[in-house]
A and B are shown apart, each in its own frame.
Chain A
């Protein structure tokens, strides 16, 4: 895959997933979600982070012309 856009998108989604990893325990601490929901959200966000961060490594940007 060669796309600057895809690389940027994967990077942004990885960062968003990481932010979700932090948001989940904070929401649980504030009593907005249950412990089970927090743990599920943290797991899903973690998987998302690895998918997007590793995927970003596979995206090759087109050479500058």
Chain B
């Protein structure tokens, strides 16, 4: 007789049926395709906030430049040496590979955690877009430190935007994705144009002779604003490294790299992170300095690029919230497998819109990004250990699949245990994921080794 778990597992598998089989050689994509894909993937609405926050947190100019250079390099290397090799060897998505390793129960929990985190991220993007619309209607936007919805006007804008984004995600995800691909280079140009245009306001001369002087005294002057923690080189380096932690160390980009001809295609991520996570962040830093260090993405873009800038914030929010909502819906569909896609996307949209009303998620975006990566990272560590370390230690691989385990207790214990350690670790939030990754790898390997002996 089918148990609720087996029914749930079967229904969950049907949702991911289209990518069940390993990618065949005729489906592999060229390096150019990967370069193009990544080039358009890392310019989102959140870049308006992240780069600006570095200024508010008093990052110095030199710390910022070198932190971003090396942090993004580490991110590219993580994709290249951790994520891409596993994807190329297995040709599977993380979903299917995790199921072999940790069992359908753990995969289910991972999906739900992922969906909720996606909803919060999409909510932050709606909040950023709401600052642009709020500007047009003269509605005050939340100040730094605000947790609860600040006024009815803000709630109304967020609800309208959330409803619009959700409706469009339901009506035409694929068409909107094509439009997002068109909008992406233009959004990047909004950042660059905005930054160039506010330089005279900051006192930069046309011959650029005093550019470094202005950068170090008026933009990244190393002084945090009141109430904001001072951040330095290591914080920036780690932030740039972990801001896509779930994708590289967390291995969710296996979905992309399983189409790569070689693992070295991981290097193509540089085409995305250096424009999006370096130039765009620096540009938003310049723009926020020009409006007196106020965290107001809409105002920032309006002052720098006029109405096109406002449209840029809105479009960046829309085009990046759309796939995030879609992914959240797909992950949530595992809970209600018989529901149609539109209904579950609607639920994801409602949850996202409610979350977006709370400005804390975009006003604490840097911390949220750190937590998002930290929560999903141990699963990547579990897969890494099983894939690379088990064969070298003579441990049997894929025991969950072979023995039909619903839950691989060792994987779940390593995941939750690592998160418990991360919670109490007495170091800055940004640095916690790195020791925790080693802890997760060691814990999972140790638990599975003990389990073999006791079996």
Q: Mark A27-44, 1 if CB is under 8 A from B, else 0.
A: 011110001001110110
Contact yes or no, B196 A25, CB < 8 A:
yes
Residues of B within 8 A of A28 (CB): 196-197, 200
Q: Indicate whether A39 sits within 8 Å of B189 (C-beta atoms), given known contacts A29-B197, A29-B206.
A: no
Cβ < 8 Å to A, chain B residues 68-83: none
Report Cα–Cα, A7/B193, bound state, in Å. Answer: 27
B224 to chain A, nearest CB (A): 29
Contact yes or no, B189 A18, CB < 8 A:
yes
Contact yes or no, A39 B199, CB < 8 A:
no
Contact yes or no, A21 B189, CB < 8 A:
yes
Residues of B within 8 A of A24 (CB): 193
Report Cα–Cα, A28/B198, bound state, in Å. Answer: 10
B186 within 8 Å of A (CB atoms): yes
A9 within 8 Å of B (CB atoms): no
Contact yes or no, B186 A21, CB < 8 A:
yes
Contact yes or no, A57 B182, CB < 8 A:
yes
Report Cα–Cα, A24/B309, bound state, in Å. Answer: 13
Q: Indicate whether A22 sits within 8 Å of B192 (C-beta atoms), given known contacts A29-B206, A38-B197, A42-B305.
A: yes
Contact yes or no, A25 B178, CB < 8 A:
no
Residues of B within 8 A of A12 (CB): none
A13 within 8 Å of B (CB atoms): no
Residues of B within 8 A of A43 (CB): 306-308
Q: Mark A44-58, 1 if CB is under 8 A from B, else 0.
A: 001001100110010
Q: Indicate whether A22 sits within 8 Å of B193 (C-beta atoms), given known contacts A29-B200, A39-B306, A39-B308.
A: yes
Residues of B within 8 A of A40 (CB): 306
- Closest A residue to B306 using CB positions: A39
- Closest A residue to B178 using CB positions: A57
Residues of B within 8 A of A46 (CB): 186, 308, 311
Residues of A within 8 A of B193 (CB): 21-22, 24-25, 42
How many A-B residue pairs lie within 8 Å, measured between CB atoms? 55
B36 within 8 Å of A (CB atoms): no
Report Cα–Cα, A36/B379, bound state, in Å. Answer: 52
Residues of A within 8 A of B308 (CB): 39, 42-43, 46
Instruction: Kindly identify which residue among B178, B199, B200, B306 contacts A42, using a CB–CB cutoff of 8 Å.
Output: B306
Q: Indicate whether A18 sits within 8 Å of B185 (C-beta atoms), given known contacts A24-B193, A25-B196, A26-B196.
A: yes
Residues of A within 8 A of B204 (CB): 29
B438 within 8 Å of A (CB atoms): no
Residues of A within 8 A of B194 (CB): 25
B212 within 8 Å of A (CB atoms): no
Contact yes or no, A39 B305, CB < 8 A:
yes
Residues of B within 8 A of A50 (CB): 182-183, 186
Contact yes or no, A53 B196, CB < 8 A:
no
Most B CB contacts (10 A, CB to CB) among A18, A21, A29 go to: A29
- Closest A residue to B204 using CB positions: A29
B179 within 8 Å of A (CB atoms): yes
Q: Indicate whether A29 sits within 8 Å of B199 (C-beta atoms), given known contacts A21-B193, A39-B305.
A: yes
A17 to chain B, nearest CB (A): 9
Q: Indicate whether A18 sits within 8 Å of B196 (C-beta atoms), given known contacts A39-B306, A42-B305.
A: no
Report Cα–Cα, A8/B183, bound state, in Å. Answer: 19
B215 to chain A, nearest CB (A): 15
Report Cα–Cα, A46/B308, bound state, in Å. Answer: 7
- Closest B residue to A14 using CB positions: B182
Cβ < 8 Å to A, chain B residues 191-215: 192-194, 196-197, 199-200, 204, 206
Contact yes or no, A29 B196, CB < 8 A:
yes
Q: Indicate whether A18 sits within 8 Å of B305 (C-beta atoms), given known contacts A30-B206, A54-B179.
A: no
B85 to chain A, nearest CB (A): 36
Most B CB contacts (10 A, CB to CB) among A18, A24, A39, A57 go to: A39
Instruction: Kindly identify which residue among A25, A31, A38 contacts B206, using a CB–CB cutoff of 8 Å.
Output: A31
A46 to chain B, nearest CB (A): 5
Residues of A within 8 A of B311 (CB): 46
Residues of B within 8 A of A21 (CB): 186, 189, 193
- Closest B residue to A49 using CB positions: B186
Contact yes or no, A18 B186, CB < 8 A:
yes
Most A CB contacts (10 A, CB to CB) among B178, B305, B307, B311 go to: B305
Residue pairs across A and B with Cβ atoms less than 8 A apart, 9 shown, are: A22-B193, A25-B192, A25-B194, A29-B206, A39-B308, A46-B186, A46-B311, A50-B183, A57-B178
Given contacts A22-B193, A49-B186, 19 further A-B contacts (CB under 8 A): A18-B186, A18-B189, A21-B189, A24-B193, A26-B196, A28-B196, A28-B197, A29-B196, A29-B200, A35-B197, A39-B305, A39-B307, A39-B308, A40-B306, A42-B305, A43-B306, A46-B311, A50-B186, A57-B178
Per CB-CB distance, the 9 closest pairs between chain A and chain B, nearest first, are A39-B306, A25-B196, A25-B193, A25-B197, A43-B308, A53-B182, A46-B308, A21-B189, A42-B308
